[in-house]
Chain A
Amino acid sequence: MKAIRSVLIIGGGATAVQTSDELDAVIFELAYSLKQQGIRVILLDDNPFSFTSDSPAVDRAVVMSLTTPNLLQLIKEEDPDAILPTTGNKLSFALVQEVMETGILQEKGIKLLGVPEATNRQVNHPSLLSSTLHQMGAPTKKLVTVNNFQDAVEAAGEIGYPVAVAALMPEGVSYRRLANNRSDLNTIVTHGLQQSRAHQVVISQSLAGFKEIEAVVMRDHTGTTMLLSMLEDLNPIGIHAGDSIVVNPAQTMRDREIQKMRNIAFAIARKLRIVGVVHVQFAFDQEHEQGYVIKVSPYFDRAVLFAERSTGYPIAPVCAALYAGRSLREINLGPNFDRHAALEEPAMDHVAVRLPFFDLEELPESDVELGTQKRSIGAVMGVGRTFNAAIVKAVEAQGDKKNIQSLMDLSAISNSELAKKLVHPHANFHFVLLEALRRGYSISELAEMTKVDRYYLARFTLLLQTVKDVGAETGSPTVLHQAKTAGLCDWVIARLWGQEGKDVRQLRHAQQLARTYKEVEPSAGELDQHSGLFYSGFGVENEVSPMDSPTAVVVGTGPIALGNGAASDYCMAGVIAALKKAGFHTAIIDNNPSTVTLSPVFAERRYIEPLTSDGVIDVIATEKPRVVVVPAGRKNLIQQLQGLGLKDCQLVVLPFDTQPTDVINDDALVAINFIHDGTHFYPLATTGALRHSSNGHFMDTDLCSPAEISEDDDARLQVLGRGASGQLTSSGLYQLWCVRKKGRLEPYKLKAIPATQLAFLAKVLGINLPGIALQLKLKTFQSSSLPHWLNVGKAGQYAIYHARYPFHDLHLVGEQATAAKAIGGWMEIHRH
């Protein structure tokens, strides 16, 4: 096989509801590993919050739309040896398909990585894929197409009630309906046949209510196949897996059930000739011990990244080696891993829970019944020794006090509303389950109503008991231990005791109840391996000791929320990169399974923890850092850290999670962006607000850079910027927005550059602006490090940016497009 010397990676594009922020982390890890193997990496992406496009992990990043013409152009320019479609969702498979049809791949001998052409085609055509599955004998949903009632009855009898009925080629909108018996069937089929232009209906087996199990499988070109994770969804089929609570490893499956699905998933990986990773979703009928394949995704997605973060098995780096043509046998993961670690199926000695994050604060209207379409914006994860500890930590990781409060109490909800929400789940379903148990529903009743496995309901009952026990004995060391083991943070315990968080901390210290840290490592302790990924518990052994000085601890920004989206993560990644460059050993605390900051290439130590004050303070006490970086939004944490009076430690507060506010005007707006180091003014670039398509105003959610202004205006902007800079009292990155009044530009608004725009500008300028924000706070900023052309702007370049909103995906109409409601962004840099 010809060695690959260059790879073109198709990026993940703007963050959206369906495809959240997971792909940049994957691309980053892949690109970094490919580059380490001496392969030239070319990336096409239009996501302004991609850290990868700015990083030295790629040799050439082209920030342009993910379209066929752009891809073709790049192929012509770069003549890559291979093209990678597995990191850009289904869209990149569609792009590759179109590119393939031009014949250019064959003509130039460009290899497709990850999947063969035939599989690429199947991803684009679900019917091809289902017939392949059918041919190979993989169990799939039974379905029969009929054109009369008698046949429908026969088909339903064969399949077994309940059956789902859908009109084929319906006139207008038509929904699938469930028939529980023959008389239901009569009405539904008669209606369906009338609706169908073909006078046909499809009768299919209903999988609703079955367990959803997700297998993540790896395969190499020699055919070696291994199971990386078997994830279990707490919610049954009928609720999108991305909106479900997901648990790794599966908690309620028996060995032979797991082996059955493993065999099917392996057969699929073989049949599709996957080289890399594939995610196979099953509906599992536990009563009949039968799993049905419901979805096959031969590409990176949230489940794959969750598997990587929760097992400590480096999936993306291993895939990079597989893409480069190596076999799993040949992969050596370096001194931190066993020689054949890449070939060892991960074994877990902890539980990880992925909890979807719904931004109901920004979009309360999005709180509707969960169904087959994804509605969550992002996710958090919690890792613990038990399911309860893991889910409690995940709830705390959501960072919302109201949510944490719901662990203890959801009494505001009426009985009838509770019953309704049990049968028709909404966001944060786990609180409804807890409340139902609190109000005396039995486990059998709940299992019947919700199809949640009895095991989890027994777990929740135990959690309620813990909360009750803690509440009953204020200040008791025994219940304190119980509460901490269950994952409850000091704040919750304090609430239950009517105390302050610091009182609980004092009691913990008095009782010498210390957090210990365990490594998330894929051999469950069997081998001396180190992933650098940790979680806390209260076991006897601590696996962490302080690193060599100087050390910096970075507090991450948690789940992506509307407003900044992945821009906060982008900025924190820039900060870590700058800290490393300055010679710091770094540790990050974060809990978003998708964040790029948890990638192994960043911080040496990565703590998957909720960002509660007591958790963060304990990490700081363990790591003894010289610098602690905290996002400005963590007000309570900042207050507590200031109260502690950290010795020889500088607290750096950076505004990367501050919710953006709009700069909006009827007239054209332009801005000068600049660095203010306390005394001097260093201009960065000009930006212009574009007219917003929906409301006709000029808004800073839509930008171009440089601003399209005359030389005179530009000179005027510089003068105004310098003037504004002189008024500032603290150093930082700022922008002065100006409008034209009586023909002259006049100051309109001076503000810190929001995270989203920092990401945009950093790409435009090719410099690590978040890193500069850090240097300004550390007082290590040196103007000589700035490129000389900053004053004149990068010649021959024009960039545009548009915020992206989740309204369409969430079926919300009439929403105002404001910066705070953006989910992601899109940008292009044109060079002439």
Chain B
Amino acid sequence: MTASYLIFDDGSIYPGVSFGSPAVTFGTVVFTTSDVGYQETITNQIFHNQIIVFSQPTIGNTRINRNLYEAIEPTAKGVVVSDVAPADPENPETSLDIFLQRMNIPGITNVDTRAVVHKLRNAGRTLTGSIVPVPDAHAFDQLHATVLTNQQVAQVSTPKAYPNPDVGDSVVVVDFGLKNGVLRELSRRHCNVTVLPYTASADDILRLDPDGVVLSSGPGNPEDIKRSVVPMIQKIQRERPLMAIGLGHELFAMANGAKVVKMPIEHHGFNHPLQEVITDHVVYAAQDEGYTIDPDSVDRTKLFITYQDLQDGTVQGLRHRQYPAFSVQFSPDGAPGPDETDGLFDEFLELLHDREAHR
């Protein structure tokens, strides 16, 4: 048992025990209240440059499974938890501890995570932190000197296009930090998928003549990449059915004139009630959001709000009035989280088929 500390840029220190990689990393600290699916969470690229605090009591219980990756190489900067499952003595290789070591991600356990969640909840701003072996002045100096990159999407998006062939509709997925869940949902519906890097222009996409386009979720501030992406979206939405998720949703909103604001506290979890405005139904879905659409900035002549979070009032979904295009802030592919909204992929395919029928 090696002592380890979670330190924050405001000078606070939380003691714990080291696991995973011994590396020292820096990142913004966020908490998730999701209570299952730690492997999917850790491997979600949305946590790029972030240290994830799990409020769930124990993680690592079901080890690492070959079919539960959301990305092959996770880019989170750390894992903070109250308790990590003991390694199965007969299967030590599949433990979370070994996995994090291999991925060079430090972890800290035996932390009073409820205290940390309270701290993050009450901070009113994004806190930066680090997992360090000694919480001395040097560690804090390094933490204060750290400048986190704003080129996050560039670091997680695929550098090259790649196909995921099948026999159904042709779909282009633009990768801003793609979750495997989206590919899983499209595969389940036999879509013939091509994944393109986030730098893909509208022409790059249209050259592939897809039936529809999906904009994936991803990490960071949409402002940092809007210059090239917004014109692409403005053109694509006129040409092809479009479905946008997470960061893709934020960019879709911006492309249609809405403003994106940073949330004082990032929200990660899947227990908030989400209202489907048109039916008035309440659904639950995986939410990972640090930015949100300013509802007052939504041009109601172009867009209408399809989903909203009843707990914090945030916009959770938009639909274009003119084009077959819609977006959601949450992850309809779950992984982890409820799959009550996975029907949105079917809706997307219906848009494709409508277009086909009317051509």
Residues of A in contact with B (beta carbons under 8 Å apart): 222-224, 226-227, 249-256, 258-259, 262-263, 266, 328-329, 338-340, 343-351, 385-387, 442-444, 454-455, 458-459, 461-462, 485, 518, 523-528, 539-541
Contact = CB atoms under 8 A, between A and B. Distances in A.
B33 A524 contact: yes
Given A252-B61, A340-B310, A526-B121, 11 more contacts: A251-B61, A255-B68, A255-B336, A258-B36, A259-B337, A347-B35, A385-B57, A385-B82, A443-B90, A525-B113, A527-B121
Given A249-B35, A462-B86, A255 B337 contact: yes
Contacts of A518: 114
Which among A350, A442, A455 has the greatest number of chain B C-beta atoms within 10 A?
Answer: A455
Contact of A340 (B117, B118, B281, B311): B311
Contacts of A527: 121, 311
Q: Classify the secondary structure of B's interface with A.
A: loop
Nearest to B112: A539
B115 interface: yes
Interface string B19-35: 00000000000010111
B345 interface: no
Interface string B257-300: 00000000000011111000000111010000000000000000
A281 to B, nearest CB: 19
B88 A254 contact: no
Interface in B306-347: 310-311, 334-340
A187 to B, nearest CB: 37
Contacts of B57: 249, 348-351, 385-387
B56 interface: yes
B86 A461 contact: yes
16 contacts: A224-B282, A253-B36, A255-B36, A329-B273, A329-B282, A340-B273, A340-B311, A347-B34, A386-B57, A386-B82, A386-B83, A443-B89, A458-B86, A458-B89, A525-B117, A526-B31
Contacts of B36: 249-250, 253-255, 258
A299 B222 CA distance: 48
B354 to A, nearest CB: 27
A254 B272 contact: no
Q: What 6 A-B pairs have minimum CB-CB distances, sorted nearest first?
A: A255-B37, A539-B112, A541-B115, A525-B117, A255-B336, A343-B273
B334 A347 contact: no
A3 to B, nearest CB: 21
Contacts of B56: 249, 347-349, 524
Given A349-B55, A458-B88, A223 B115 contact: no
Contacts of A259: 334, 337-339
A527 B112 CA distance: 17
Nearest to A348: B35
Interface string B54-98: 011110011001001000000000000011011111100000000
Contact of A329 (B37, B89, B310): B310
Contacts of B110: 485
Given A458-B89, A462-B86, A524-B35, A254 B55 contact: no
Contacts of A461: 86, 89
Contacts of B82: 349, 385-386
Nearest to A456: B61
Given A254-B68, A458-B86, A349 B114 contact: yes
A517 B343 CA distance: 43
Contacts of B270: 345
A251 B281 CA distance: 30
Contact of A454 (B37, B40, B88, B112): B88
B86 A386 contact: no
B99 interface: no
A526 B61 contact: no
B112 A459 contact: no
Contact of A458 (B85, B112, B334): B85
A350 B112 CA distance: 11
Given A444-B90, A525-B121, A251 B271 contact: no
A271 B358 CA distance: 37
A321 to B, nearest CB: 15
Given A224-B281, A344-B273, A541-B118, A255 B112 contact: no
Contact of A525 (B55, B58, B62, B86): B55
B144 to A, nearest CB: 23
B14 interface: yes
Given A348-B35, A349-B57, A526 B88 contact: no
Nearest to A540: B112
A344 B273 CA distance: 6
Interface in B4-58: 14-15, 31, 33-37, 40, 55-58
Contact of A347 (B15, B269, B335, B336): B269
A387 to B, nearest CB: 7
A339 B273 CA distance: 12
A458 B281 CA distance: 43
Contacts of A444: 90
